[in-house]
Structure 1
């Protein structure tokens, strides 16, 4: 009982640190201090969790290796689902881990948390290949059901998650951008080259908008608004296109909290929503 109370207090502390970090500017020295404190607390208290938390190395070949955090599901006798979580751009993996621990702990799933920079900035190496190595690592864990591994991309990593889910059929669920980042870039290129915004009719627009998400063979959750890269209006259009094509896609729109510093994303309910969806989609199917 005392252990559970201490764990709950520690997780609440991580949430408080995340809220404090969002109340200061990213270039404020205090932001770095808060992130460092989160990393220290994870190292100090992470080993006391019922779920084993460890820092691991993901190896793709003899020359490529990068760090990650692995949180086991907590019951070695049961093969549980797992989620590969990719931090947003300019965000460390440990910072994302500190935010997600309160939402994940006790859900009976494993997570592998990696940094956006570690999988997106290697010359000559596609992110898809590195993420497939992450999936190989997770699938090889004795407490993981290799048929129930999902991917979650934060911020710009939502586009990486879409591309990865489209390229690797083992992905069982994806929290991603649904291809809208690539769609926006393509639309901007067409507009720039033709100097016209209405060169494509609406039926063609609909097919192109949902072209990438049609390649995914798993359920999809698109996060729109807030600090993400997907606009709410485009996400709603994409969902309408996919519903017409009978594609399993849902939307999550983070709630915003008003504060003296401006609007702040309600990341607590946002994270709970995402992992409830993942828990449901990665559940056993009879």
Structure 2
């Protein structure tokens, strides 16, 4: 969170506000960020502002279970409305309520200290609502299991375009520990309106199939398996498959784009996270305290051949000047690469565009539309 919160701690259910006007709790940065994410989801239909504030008013942060319990209650109310609407043949309302229920279940699953039974309830509800939402779409979506290693499959959702056959696909990847259901709420509307199919992929989710150190070594092979799968899937143009990293708090997607030339476009960090970590360790070893700096473009960014877009926020964890300099260097070494920096004055400036993902996603999907040579509903 940016700015300072009020003096009261997280033992109270009273909400505090930072100097930017965002709700926060000094001792619970994770829940502060999650509530901002919920409010932002309302812009995409993934929540309603009134339900968010009403649920928050019932939460006692002194209780380990209260956060998850209250969001589950709100999620179940929306799920019940969805089921009733579906039975009555009101499919649009059913889908809208399943989408909101999915978001609220996701919020319930976020606290690291969630009790096992509450976490199981939240994750099961989230996936149940996602499955019902996909089944009610036109055309219907699919729940997929994509082979990866001998003992691990990648879990994914495929949302086909309603506008075209043999068309492009956007592969959206969440960071380790995130959920593919959140990717549906964030990206499905932007993709669907532009005639783009969407594949939302889980890496780890709640069940750690591989430890993080092994994941880093094998992630490139995972994305190659995804490309292999999509290339054989009917209705997919295998020359127009793009990859999008969600929140880019690692360079996993950038490494995947650098290792497989089949991607038609990539939206990722271009190796910034790896460069930042390396620079941090070098400076720390030399006794320098400066943070937020970057090296020159590294081997990852130099190895990505497809069109490349990096988006960042002025209020994120890197200095704006360092990002601008990195973007200039990136443009000099790459035939089609750019870095877009969102300023605080326009929002979408927090890390991962947490404060306004809608604004960032409009830029991202317009760029994807242009690079994949699309015009909505026409090509």
Shorter-chain TM-score category? Answer: 0.7 to 0.9
Q: How far did 1:37 drift?
A: 5.1
Is the CA contact (8 Å cut-off) linking 2:134 and 2:159 kept in structure 1?
no
Structure 2 equivalent of residue 224 of structure 1: 312
Higher relative contact order (CA 8 A, sep 6+): 1
Aligned to 2:214: 123
Partner of 1:212: 300
RMSD across aligned C-alpha pairs, in angstroms?
Answer: 4.0
Question: Is residue 91–residue 136 contact of structure 2 (8 Å, CA) maintained in 1?
Answer: no
In terms of fraction of residues, the more strand-rich structure is 1
The 3-state SS of whatever aligns with 1:127 is helix
SS of 1:218 mapped into structure 2: coil
Q: How does 1:91-240 map to 2 (within 5 A)?
A: 91-117=178-204, 121=212, 123=214, 126-156=218-248, 159-196=251-288, 208-225=296-313, 232-240=320-328
User: Offset at 1:132?
Assistant: 0.7
Query: 104-113 vs 214-223, which deviates more?
Result: 104-113
| 1:178 Cα deviation after fit | 1.3
The gaps in structure 1 that reach 5 residues or longer are: none
State the distance in 1 between where 2:317 and 2:239 align: 29
In the alignment, which of 347, 359, 363 is matched to residue 269 of structure 1?
Answer: 359
322, 329, 334: which one aligns with 1:241: 329
Q: Deviations over 1:22-70 (max 9, x none)?
A: 79984697x9687765533322232121233111111135433221111
Q: Name 2:171's counterpart in structure 1.
A: 84
Question: Scaled by the length of structure 2, what TM-score is found?
Answer: 0.60
Distance 1:244 1:156 in 2: 22
Deviations 1:114-159 (A, max 9, x none): 1232687373751000111011111211111111111111134651
Higher Cα Rg, which structure: 2
* C-alpha distance 274-231 of structure 1, shift in aligned 2 (>3 A): farther
* 1:229 to 1:57, Cα distance in 2 relative to 1, 3 A: farther
* Residues 9-18 or 265-274, more deviating: 9-18
For the residue of structure 2 that corresponds to 1:81, the secondary structure is strand
Of 239-248 and 11-20, more deviation after overlay is shown by 11-20
Distance in 2 (alpha carbons) for counterparts of 1:8 and 1:214 = 47
Contact 1:79/1:145 (8 A) holds in 2: yes
Distance in 2 between the 1:226 and 1:11 partners?
33
1:251 correspondence with 2:336: no
Change (3 A) 1:55 1:246: closer
Compute the displacement of 1:165 (Å): 0.6
